Structures are given as structure tokens and as C-alpha cells.
Structure 1
Amino acid sequence: MWVEKRATGTYKFVEQYKSPLTGKRKRVSVTMDKNTAHTRKEAQAALEAKIQHQLKHVDDGNLKHGITLRELATDWLKDYKPMVKYHTYDNSASRVKVMLKHIDGDILVEKIKPLLIEDFLNGMIYKDDYKNSSVMKFKGTLGNMLRYAYKHNYIKANPIEQVNVQYRTDEANDDTSKKFLDDNELHEVLRFMYHRSPHYGRFCEFLYLTGMRYGEAASLRRQDISRRDDGKVVASINGTLVNDHKQMSPKTGNSRRDVTLNDRAVLLLNKESVDHPAKSEFIFESRQGHPLGNTILNYWLRQAKRKFDIDKVVSLHTFRHTHISKLAELGVPLYLIQHRVGHKDATTTKDIYLHVTKKAEQRLDSKLNFL
């Protein structure tokens, strides 16, 4: 290591190393304010860390030791971010934060065994009360991280392949009827949300009337609403809400669409416009001028679930499922429902449609003897 004094009065500490890929010498450097015994020691450690970071990405066929779970997470997220939409990345990054709270981030990746992963995932189900579907997402994210580790020779084999999660059996055959609300439940929940705030109530009712996803409705701006030549009012779905900003790309290609609004939905938009000045970016906003947050809305929906003892899933997404169930009940063909809600081929939409139409057939069968 040598030191170069810079014109700014700072000191540049430099070290060389030989690249295994090219055989050539490369340099790494770090700048310090002073040149003392203490700063030289700090610089030496920083330079060594930089060299090791460069060398660990060199694939020489040998296992690379000393990589921690926290380092793996940082490397994988950096590699993963440009490959996916921000919302997908953000969800993965959030799951990584949760993992690092439950699993020591300083554990060496090469020391991670299937049992450690099983304990973490099973604990999420039976200690932290996570749903099976949520734990599956955590397992998927961890599996992607460990596949990255295997690809870069941090581990000899991927332990996720030997993990056996003990999912709750009572969720194995999820009851489709618990995914949407009946008329009485819907009325109670909406009345509760209107009582909390007219903004909350209008937003939740708008989700039910349109079948939009939270991010689609929350990111609607005035210019996204238009009246067609036939007099119908439509909302153009062209983006979603990410970190309080509109990302001009919906969840999937099929999500980009125009949604026809009925008279009640138009009325709700007009009432929101009255409450917010024209300079507001979004139609649905809080009193502070921010988009309505899904965290606080889902919190109050959980309170409504408890208050009315509703034995179903009650969240913002429940209004979307309830919209699908109502369209099925009205006899709207499945392909039109899928187009309206922006689904090309969604299992949940099909399940709800078949559940509702099957119930209608059973009601018809019970009345045939009265002909």
C-alpha cells in the first residue's frame, strides 16, 4: 500500500492486486482526511475488503468462502433490481429485511443448512401467523438468493431444494367463498370505512364498483378519466402507485386497459374532486395531499372484520374479488370479466366465477319442481 497526497489536502491510499481473469495488475483506492497510523490501518482494511469483493466474483471453479447472508442479499438485490419492475423488486427487498431480522445476517452462506431454513419458514407460519401464500413468497425469494449463491460458487448445493415446509393443512383447500363479501358484509364494511373517513369509504366503494387493484385506483389522475363518444365515462389504467408516485406501467401487459365507470363510480370521483383542489396530482388523496396508503386502509379493514365477526379475508383486494363475484352473479361471461379486471388467465378469477355460477345452478335446480 502507498499514499498519494491530493491537491485538496486529503490522502489517497492505493493498493494493487493481480486479476485472475487477465493476469494484469489492478488498483483499488480509498481517500482519507489524514495520514496517521490510525487512518493507515483503516485504509488497509478498506482496501483489502475492496480487493476481496472484486475477487469473490471471479469464477475459478473453487468455492468462495466467507460470504455472509447479508452480503449475499446485497449482491443479489443489486443484480435483481434491473431485471424486474420496481414494485416486484421492492416487495423482494422488504422480504429480505424480514429474513435478516429472523436469521443472523452474519451467518456464512456456505453454513446454511435446510433445517435452519425450515425453522425460519415454519416459525413464520406457527409463531408469527403468516399465511401459507406469504410464506411461499418468502421461500421463493430465499430460493432465488441461494440460486444466485450457487451460480457464483458461494455454495456447493442449494439447500432450499431439501427444505420441507409444514404448511397449514386448513389452508390447503382454501374456501373460495371466503375471498369475497356478500351484500350484507359489503354494506357493513363500507359503512364502517365511511365512518372512519369519507375518503376511505369512497375509495373502497370505488374499488368494489370497478374491480381495480389498489395501485391502479390510487394512482388515478384527472387526465385518466374521459368521456367517450357514446357518453360512457372510462378510466384509463396505465400505471400503478409506487412509493407515492405513479409508475407509468401497470402490473402486467394485460393490466393496461380502459374501465367503464357506472353512474355511482362517477359520482364518487366527482365528490373526491370537490374535496381536493385541481392542482392535486391524484384523485384519491388524504387531507394532507398524499395518496391513500394501503397500510392504513388495510388496518381499518381488519378492524371492520373483527367488529362484524366476518369469517373471510377482508382487505383492499377483497373488493376486487367481490366485484368479480357480483359480475358473475349478473351473468357476465368470464372472458369479459377477465378483460375488465386486467387478467389474462387468473386462477382466482376463474375460481370465484365458477363458485358463483355453480351456486346459481344449484338455486335453479331447487326450483325446477315448482314449474
Structure 2
Amino acid sequence: MASFRKRGTAWEYRIRYADRQTGTYKEKTKGGFKTKKEAQIAAAEEESKINQFGFAENGSERVDNFFDDWLEVYKRPNLKPITFTLQERNVRLNILPRWGKYRLKDITRNEYQKWINELRGHYSEGTVRRIHSIFSSAMTDAVHEFRILRENPVQKIKIPKQADKSSKVAYFTREQLEEFFDCVKTPVKKAKYQHSIQYYAFFTLMARTGLRIGEALALTWDDLNFDAKTLTVNKTLVYPLNSQPYLSTPKTKNSERTIKLDEITLKLIRRHRINQKEVCLMYENYKPTKDNIIFHQHDGRWLRTNVVRDYFKEICKRADLPVLSPHALRHTHAVHLLEAGANIKYVSERLGHASVKVTADTYLHVTKKIEDDALALYERYVQN
């Protein structure tokens, strides 16, 4: 029910209502009306909205305070720790520096779209989509869960497209891969553990199976079946910055898989197992692992992801190759399989992709070549 009073020469209304979400009573006041009639009309319109939506528009909360609550209440309890860490990092590094001091109700679609366009100048389409997804999800919860906005101000925003999808896939050609492994096998003078073949075995396994780096680092000897010539992937190693590593479930449901190993890989992994024991005897401070880990540090703990990445890049430089990341070995395996004529469904299952569409979209440049080659074969067939 609205009440009215005159303050000076202007009128104001005050509406008291029960918030459906919390059950508490709230008030909304607005003044500056020239006549009581104007105040009554405005109050009636506002009461109609409150009856429809169940709350009065507020949105005066600052974005930084709102995101703090949103992350703790709706995200932390429902996400894997690594996923929560990535979302919190995007909020802290990308969203709050730009929007933190704004009030929720001051966010406009036009200004937000300009910001998204600016982000595309610094990040890939996929990264910008992830940042926007976090922001839009928070605003949707501000409407339906926190009930402090009537509508999401960043709905139907357009993300500028990737100019060339194939350019985002970095991989080695067969010749480059051979040069890479020639360099890995060559001992570095004065290297601390130069008799160890661990990195050679590790990178070979990634290049010949398409494992993600976390999946490869998480492997134990129990995951290998030498008789069946298979490798079981059922976990991934998460190594957060400035924190302790831990094992988590794989990226997607399809990421849990059993992979067939080729003879070259099997032979090298057997050799690595023997070499691992020899290195422990050879170097006094090189300790055997207590957790049956296939690839480990000198003290027996999990290999650090950042150390593996740095070493990989160092090899690329020594071999005078494009400086890529270890993930390029996964792309390399997929591309080489497809170029060799492997069925795309088999490649998708081997990589643990969520769907065949993900595989086809990721390796569009290769699948297009396969299409052209298949059509050429068909044309030759029907002409004979």
C-alpha cells in the first residue's frame, strides 16, 4: 500500500511490501513529483511491477560485492575446485577491474558490448565466451535467485567470431615431431639427471595417445595393462598455482576411456620403468615414488605442470621449432590420425572428446581435406 507526503514543493511516495524471496518487509521511496496525482500514478505503476515480479528493482549493490557473494553461495559448493578456481580468476582479473565499482543497475547493454569487443582484441573467441558466460550467469542469478534485478542486462550479447578457426590449433608436422624427439633424446651436458629418459617417455606417450597433460601426469603403473596393450584414463592431476596438487575426475564423462597402445610406445614405457629404477640407484637424491606414479619428480612427488611446460618450450627452442605448449602433442596426434585416414569417431573417442562435433570443429582444416580427398576418390571411381 502506498503512502504520500509533500516535502517542500514536491511530492513523494512510499511503498511497503513483502519480499516473496525473503519474507521480510521492504520499502521503496521516490520523490520529486510536481503534484500528488503524478506521485499516485508512479506509485500505482511501481506497485503493479512489484505484484508481477515480487520485488522492487534495487540493483544498488556494487558489482564487486555482488560477485563475492555469488561465487561463495552459488559457485563454490557446486563446482570442481579447479573449475571454481578458473572462474574466480576470470572474475578477479577480467571482470572486477572493469566493472567492480559499478552498481548492478548501472550496467548497460551498449557499454557491455563495447567491452566484449575490446576483449576480443586481447583474447581468443573461446576465452571471451567463457568470461561472458560467467558474467551473464551471475546476472541471471541476480534476477532469479538474489531478486535484485528485473532482467539480465547482458543477454543476447554478440561475441565477435574467430576469423580463422584452424589457426588456433597448433601442432607439429611429422618432420617437426621427429626433430623434436631427436632433441629430447640428446643428453644435455651438465644436466642434473641426464641418464633419465623420463621426459622422452612422457612426451612420446602424449604424442602417440593424445592424452591431456593432466591425464598423463596422473598416471600410475596400475593404469597400464601390458598384456592387453591398453592404458586406462580415469583421473587428472590438478596443480593449482601456489597450492598443493590433487587428483580430480577427467574433464568430461567421455574423458574416462581405455586407449590402445602401439608397440613403439609400449616398448618405450617398459624401458622407462627399468630406467626409473636405475636412475634411483644412480643418483643419491633421486627417490623412488611411494604412489606408483609413472612420471615423478626426483623426490617421488607428482611432476609439476609448469616445469613440464617450461622444459617442453626449452626443447622447442633447442630444436629450432615453433615454441608451442605440451598440448600441441595432443593436437599433433589427432591431426596425424586424421591425415592417416582414421575414422573421426575413433579419433574423437581416443581423445575423450564430449562429441564427434567437437573433434570435427577443432580439426576443421584436416576434416575439410579428408572430405576433398574422399570426393576425389569418388569421382575417380564413377569415371572408371
The 5-angstrom pairing of residues 173-322 of structure 1 reads 173-175=164-166, 178-191=169-182, 199-227=198-226, 231-243=227-239, 244-247=245-248, 249-273=249-273, 274=276, 275=279, 277-299=288-310, 308=320, 310=322, 314-322=324-332
Structure 2: unaligned runs, 5 residues or longer:
1-17, 26-52, 189-193, 240-244, 280-286
Which protein shows a greater Rg? 2
1:203 shift after superposition = 2.2
* Inter-partner Cα distance in structure 1 for 2:210 and 2:334: 7
Aligned partners of 2:345 and 2:356 also within 8 Å: no
**Residue in structure 2 matched with residue 357 of structure 1 by the alignment:** 370
Q: What amino acid does structure 1 have at the position aligned with 2:215?
A: E
* Inter-partner Cα distance in structure 2 for 1:211 and 1:112: 43
User: Which of 91, 106, 115 is the aligned partner of 2:86?
Assistant: 91
SS in 1 for 2:154: helix
Q: What amino acid does structure 2 have at the position aligned with 1:354?
A: T
* Inter-partner Cα distance in structure 2 for 1:140 and 1:326: 33
Q: What amino acid does structure 2 have at the position aligned with 1:323?
A: H
Query: When the two structures are aligned, how many residues end up with a matched partner?
Result: 307
Percent identity among equivalent residues? 20
Aligned partners of 2:219 and 2:295 also within 8 Å: yes
1:61 shift after superposition = 0.7
Aligned partners of 1:110 and 1:154 also within 8 Å: no
The 5-angstrom pairing of residues 1-371 of structure 1 reads 21=22, 61-78=55-72, 79-100=74-95, 102-126=97-121, 129-151=122-144, 152-161=146-155, 163-167=157-161, 171-175=162-166, 178-191=169-182, 199-227=198-226, 231-243=227-239, 244-247=245-248, 249-273=249-273, 274=276, 275=279, 277-299=288-310, 308=320, 310=322, 314-351=324-361, 352=363, 354-355=367-368, 357-358=370-371, 360-361=373-374
CA RMSD of aligned residues (A): 3.7
1:234 shift after superposition = 1.7
* Inter-partner Cα distance in structure 1 for 2:295 and 2:369: 31
* Inter-partner Cα distance in structure 1 for 2:202 and 2:376: 33
1:133 shift after superposition = 1.6
Q: What amino acid does structure 1 have at the position aligned with 2:213?
A: Y
Q: Deviations over 1:57-98 (max 9, x none)?
A: xx9512344422222222222212333333332322221121
Q: What amino acid does structure 1 have at the position aligned with 2:219?
A: L
SS in 1 for 2:264: helix
The TM-score, its normalising length taken from structure 1, stands at: 0.68
Structure 1: unaligned runs, 5 residues or longer:
1-17, 25-58
Aligned partners of 2:105 and 2:149 also within 8 Å: yes
SS in 2 for 1:103: helix
